[in-house]
Structure 1
Amino acid sequence: MGNDISLTRIAACHVSPVFLSAKDTTLKAISLIHEAAGNKANLVVFPESYIPAFPIWSALRAPTENHDFFKRMATESIYADGEEVNAIRAAAKQFGVLVSLGFSEKVRYSSATLFNSNVLIGSDGEILVHHRKLMPTFYEKLTWAPGDGHGLQVAETKFGKVGVLICGENTNPLALYTMTAQGEQIHISTWPAVWPTRLPHGAAPDSPVIENNKSDAKTSRSSVARGADYDNVSANRTRAAAHCFEAKCFGVLCAGVLGEDAIALSSSGSSEPEVVAQGLERLPRGATMFLDTTGTLLPGFTLNPKTSDKVQRDFLQKEEGILYADVDLEDCIEGKQYHDLAGGYQRLDVFELKVDRRRRQPATFK
């Protein structure tokens, strides 16, 4: 199905879940879909593992302290064909919008195997793509199992050719090229609110500058040597911008927000509750933003709920909200004159990529 419109309005929901509550977070998601659709959005995007939460406790607490957290995560994770996803599908159909939803997925063949998943739901309520993150990153392996290639698909919709990759797999050049090779026009990358790599100490740093690409190499090197916090804002933008430039597609970076309930619950019961709580308060927050087809920051806007007036915002970081952008899909064309990496600028006689899309099952019964 080809595009019958040129402009697409994207709504990136920079929001927190109701921490570890699938039911309440689903209700919140539906209300946000309602709001975005009322503001003429065509595509509504939610962060990584929005339902029921991102397992930040695994980064800051010893695994032996987290049995109850894992049990609750397994209980509150949802089935891809379960009532929560079905409720989101019904909302997508009711309001005629595409919805990209990150969630922690449980499966019926196990009581504890979970996947970091995302579904792209069509405006008719049907699931277009069901993706499981190829490889959980670092401490995420304590919660999620590796996924498969089944969801490495770009959905061709009337609002554009849309693809989704989750967090760290946006670092994988083969996964990114797989999306490019399907003519992707809008690339969604989803991220957590924070991504701790150590227990931070000392005063909270200033929020990373994301309006431009200024950096001091000497400062950067010394910060790494001291053991600096992971700069997920720069890391996320670098990966997404590279893909937008190479694929000549628009980028939607949608990060979560760390709620006070997440901080309180994640620190309670820890052997060092104050250290965990202070660490979470101190960590730099992820940012939600848009990029154009050259990888350059594309200013978005929020909408005044009373007047519907636009307020230009380059990004959302600390506070909750919905960031909007209107994109012209025809802008994906010009750059392909220079570098069409899956077409006229590729050497298909030299390189060959094979992608296995089989959905893996624990056993085959005949």
Structure 2
Amino acid sequence: MDSNPTPNSSNDKQDKVGIYVVQRCPRLLDLEHGVQTAIEEIATAAKAGANLIAFPETWLTGYPVWVFGMASWNDPEARSWYKRLVEASPTASGSHINRIRDAARENNIEVVLGFNERARETGGTIYNSVAMIGRDGSLRGVHRKLTPTHAERLVWANGDAQGLRAYNTSAGKIGAAVCWEHFHPLIRQALHTEDEQIHIALWPDMPSAHQIASRQYAFEGRCFVVAAASYLDKESVPPELLEAYVKGAGSPDLFTGGSSIIGPDGEDIAGPVYGPEPLVVDIDVGQTIAYKHDLDVAGHYGRPDIFKLSVNREGDRR
């Protein structure tokens, strides 16, 4: 990470922001293909006039839904797939993420990337992470999902709050949370107090509960929400993993997309869009303040004389 990734470093913020949401996933467990696909998507988004591109949860190397069908003790198949996932996961400071940072700089675009993050090049621990990359190629920060959900705990370690913040960018003040973090009131409030204008909600798929949570977040935080979900077809899954993947997903259709852009009033501006195609929308981030006239949970509606929230963003990462 950059030596001074301050959340308050602004790059000529503008009110009109073009947003590009990627849905189609690259091949699972294929890091090189994923990086190359990300670079291509970044270039395509920039050509479409976007200022911000968002990728879904663990888009890079894939969401390990197979673990929901392999939760038994000493499961050799689960260990085999875990090994492959760890080996296919980049570190935040390594060459693979650096190539994506280079693409952000070359295309002058803000990037929010969901990826499986390996803690160390030779380590056996991975995180469900989000890289916040500036249009100058800087790595503003990395958010690690605080608490993996259910069987996810067999794959990802607990994250920390170092990246639980919003960053001033050329596209506005941007924060992110992953999947069921949107059902955690204190995580939501921690980000609301950062005065987000655009919140990236990263999901693997988009059932109705995820749509509801995304819209609730937008209404509660009086911010725009980019709800990014994956489109994953069988051709992108290694043949030897397909049966386990279908079992874990609970559907032969795997992930069908469903991304949307939601306004500060909690209403959909665009989407949900199902299928592999990206979602491309322009928004006016200057609208967010007007919606705080009647509801500002981090301000006049927050009652700080009664409630206190403390967030520990200290500690060494490992």
Residue segments in structure 1 that go unaligned for 5+ positions in a row: 194-231, 300-313
Distance 1:32 1:183, change over 3 A: same
**Structure 2 contact 66–248 (Cα < 8 Å) conserved:** no
Aligned residue for 1:180? Answer: 192
Q: Distance in 2 between matches of 1:263 and 1:278?
A: 15
SS of alignment partner, residue 103 of structure 1: strand
Q: Which has the larger radius of gyration?
A: 1
Q: Deviations over 1:132-153 (max 9, x none)?
A: 0000011111110000010111
Q: Deviations over 1:39-68 (max 9, x none)?
A: 110000011111111101101235413121
Q: Deviations over 1:100-129 (max 9, x none)?
A: 011111122862111101111000000112
What amino acid is the match of 1:257?
Answer: Y
**Structure 1 contact 47–102 (Cα < 8 Å) conserved:** yes
SS of alignment partner, residue 92 of structure 1: helix
- 1:37, distance to aligned residue in structure 2 (A): 0.3
Q: Deviations over 1:190-211 (max 9, x none)?
A: 1114xxxxxxxxxxxxxxxxxx
**Within the alignment, does 1:296 sit opposite 2:253 as a pair?**
no
**Structure 2 contact 67–151 (Cα < 8 Å) conserved:** yes
**Structure 2 contact 66–249 (Cα < 8 Å) conserved:** no
Aligned residue for 1:120? Answer: 132
SS of alignment partner, residue 332 of structure 1: helix
SS of alignment partner, residue 292 of structure 2: helix
**Within the alignment, does 1:45 sit opposite 2:54 as a pair?**
yes
SS of alignment partner, residue 307 of structure 2: coil
| Pairing partner for 1:85 from 75, 97, 119 | 97
| Pairing partner for 2:241 from 256, 266, 276 | 266
- 1:95, distance to aligned residue in structure 2 (A): 0.5
**Structure 1 contact 3–160 (Cα < 8 Å) conserved:** no
- 1:288, distance to aligned residue in structure 2 (A): 0.6
- 1:336, distance to aligned residue in structure 2 (A): 0.7
| Pairing partner for 1:155 from 149, 152, 167 | 167
**Within the alignment, does 1:333 sit opposite 2:304 as a pair?**
no
SS of alignment partner, residue 22 of structure 2: strand
SS of alignment partner, residue 207 of structure 2: helix
What amino acid is the match of 1:276?
Answer: K
Q: Distance in 2 between matches of 1:284 and 1:181?
A: 33
For normalisation by structure 2, the TM-score amounts to 0.90
What amino acid is the match of 2:263?
Answer: D
**Within the alignment, does 1:287 sit opposite 2:258 as a pair?**
yes
| Pairing partner for 2:31 from 22, 38, 60 | 22
Aligned residue for 1:58? Answer: 67
Percent of aligned pairs sharing the same letter: 32
**Structure 2 contact 111–133 (Cα < 8 Å) conserved:** yes
SS of alignment partner, residue 129 of structure 1: strand
Residue segments in structure 2 that go unaligned for 5+ positions in a row: 1-9
Aligned residue for 1:316? Answer: 273
User: Aligned-residue CA RMSD in angstroms?
Assistant: 2.0
Q: What are the equivalent positions in structure 2 for 1:337-356 lying under 5 Å apart? A: 337-356=293-312
**Structure 2 contact 222–265 (Cα < 8 Å) conserved:** yes
- 1:276, distance to aligned residue in structure 2 (A): 3.1
Q: Distance in 2 between matches of 1:316 and 1:85?
A: 28
